[in-house]
Chains A and B, each alone.
Chain A
Amino acid sequence: MFNTFILPVVIFAIIGIIAGILLTVASKLFEVKTDQRIELISDVLPQANCGACGFAGCSDYADAIVSSGAASNLCRPGGASTSEKIAAIMGTKADAFTAQAAVLHCGGNCRVTTKKFDFIGISSCSAAKRFYGGNGLCTFGCIGLGDCVSVCDTNCISICNGIAEINKYNCIACGKCVNVCPNSLITLRPVTCHIDVACSSKDNGKITKQNCSVGCIGCKICEKKCLNDAIHIIDFHAVIDYSKCTSCGACFDACPTGAITNCECNIQNL
């Protein structure tokens, strides 16, 4: 009884205690003085480890702020409040922060456009894209197999009516979906703007019109109506410069095809 059950426990307990004492002594002897601010900043950061700041993770970013003076406004999930808290810890002025969210520049759901063929294969947009440029009539549109859904850590993207739908309220703007979309349909834009061009077709107006009823045909009406010179036709579709856009909605009202969307509800909720 003693030899089989109690002795092993006793032996391992003793080894464990000795190891514990040794490690405690060593950690006291070889203690490395770390800047306390690193820990304080780590506590302030959201610990999402999304990598949107460009560093390996939250603790890496905290280290970079203290040791190499990285800007305080790089944490997109944390937003303005985190930037202020970091600045308070560092004793500097907070860098201005614009909250951003991901937007899909395609409105080609199953009601307005159709598929060229049935794609049976690996259920991934990038795989489908390699096969004749995707199975949609419009080769620039959302393929809808959800590469962005699988990469999103906050589960704010879903496939709805054949295209990705981004829940802007949960989006932390980490930018992972931006990089993964084979058609580069997703971009980050300030949440305060609520006018989006839901089309990225580089086909000319005639082909776009044939493929999709809400595609941007490049008619340039929005360009003329814009009061701030913020919207331009580039590669046969409209692109908004959000540094100039005031979200007045003039282009939205003027668009003949409905390729420009206006989601005003964004502002109040964020």
Chain B
Amino acid sequence: MKTVFTLMITAILTDNIVLSKFMGICPFLGVSKKLSSSLGMGAAVIFVMACATLVTYPVYALILEPNNLTYLRTVAFILIIALFVQLVEIILKKVMPPLYKALGVYLPLITTNCAVLGVTLQNIDNGFSFGYAILNSVFVGMAFTLALILFSGVRSRLETADIPATFKGVPSTLIAASIVSVSFMAFSGLMS
């Protein structure tokens, strides 16, 4: 069994959910324009991931697995994730209206953010215990936040850069994203 430290390094650096596994690209590109909104998005995703694991893990281990219904896990997990995304939306609307406005359509889109479903499935496929699964979800959420924060820095520099007209906007953003992703490959040597 991995130690907590290696779990953290794996989740955040070597197997970064966005930059190495390419999950959750949509909010990664959509919300990373400003540091403040990427921080808010990251916090929302950490919360959703942790809560989703908190519920999906017992649902899987105690309800689906004993009844041989593991094939239904994707459907069940999406249902539970949707519940938590709705909860986050309701709470944010009340507690932090400016953030709610800044996140806009990307907030309900966490429902279809494959990173969240990805981490809940990953917890089960890796055979983590309940405690490790929760920790892993939090770490993966932090990895997502880290990728968002790093990339918002890159994008704020991109905005002032003199880019040829052909590459302005989405193309330059995608190229920058791939370069950031390549730079994360350097970490892959850490775990061997």
- Residues of chain A whose beta carbon lies under 8 Å from any beta carbon of chain B: 3, 7-8, 11-12, 15-16, 19, 22-23, 26-27, 30-32
Interchain pairs with CB closer than 8 A, number: 44
Residues of A within 8 A of B90 (CB): 23, 26-27, 30
Q: Which residues of chain B in 45-89 are interfacial with respect to chain A, using CB atoms and an 8 Å cutoff?
A: 59, 63-64, 67-69, 72, 75-76, 79-80, 82-83, 86-87
Q: Are B94 and A12 in contact (CB under 8 A)?
A: no
Q: Are A22 and B93 in contact (CB under 8 A)?
A: no
B175 on the A face (CB < 8 A): no
B179 on the A face (CB < 8 A): no
Distance from A185 Cβ to chain B, minimum over Cβ atoms (Å): 25
A-B contact list, 11 entries, CB within 8 Å: A3-B67, A11-B69, A11-B76, A15-B59, A15-B79, A19-B79, A26-B86, A30-B90, A30-B91, A30-B95, A31-B94
Residues of B within 8 A of A26 (CB): 86-87, 90-91
Query: With A11-B63, A31-B94, A32-B93 in contact, do A19 and B72 touch (Cβ < 8 Å)?
Result: no
Residues of A within 8 A of B83 (CB): 19, 22-23
Distance from B58 Cβ to chain A, minimum over Cβ atoms (Å): 12
**With A and B bound together, what is the CA distance between A31 and B91 in angstroms?**
9
Residues of A within 8 A of B75 (CB): 12
Residues of B within 8 A of A16 (CB): 79
Residues of B within 8 A of A3 (CB): 67-68
Residues of B within 8 A of A11 (CB): 63-64, 67, 69, 76
Q: How large is the interface on B (under 10, 10 to 19, 20 to 34, 35 or more residues)?
A: 20 to 34
Distance from A158 Cβ to chain B, minimum over Cβ atoms (Å): 33
Which single residue of chain B is at the shortest CB-CB distance from A22?
Answer: B83
Q: Are A15 and B86 in contact (CB under 8 A)?
A: no
Residues of B within 8 A of A31 (CB): 94
**With A and B bound together, what is the CA distance between A16 and B75 in angstroms?**
12
Distance from A196 Cβ to chain B, minimum over Cβ atoms (Å): 36
Residues of B within 8 A of A8 (CB): 69, 72
Q: Are A15 and B76 in contact (CB under 8 A)?
A: yes
Residues of B within 8 A of A19 (CB): 79-80, 82-83
Distance from B105 Cβ to chain A, minimum over Cβ atoms (Å): 11
Which single residue of chain B is at the shortest CB-CB distance from A33?
Answer: B94
**With A and B bound together, what is the CA distance between A23 and B95 in angstroms?**
16
Q: Are B86 and A23 in contact (CB under 8 A)?
A: yes
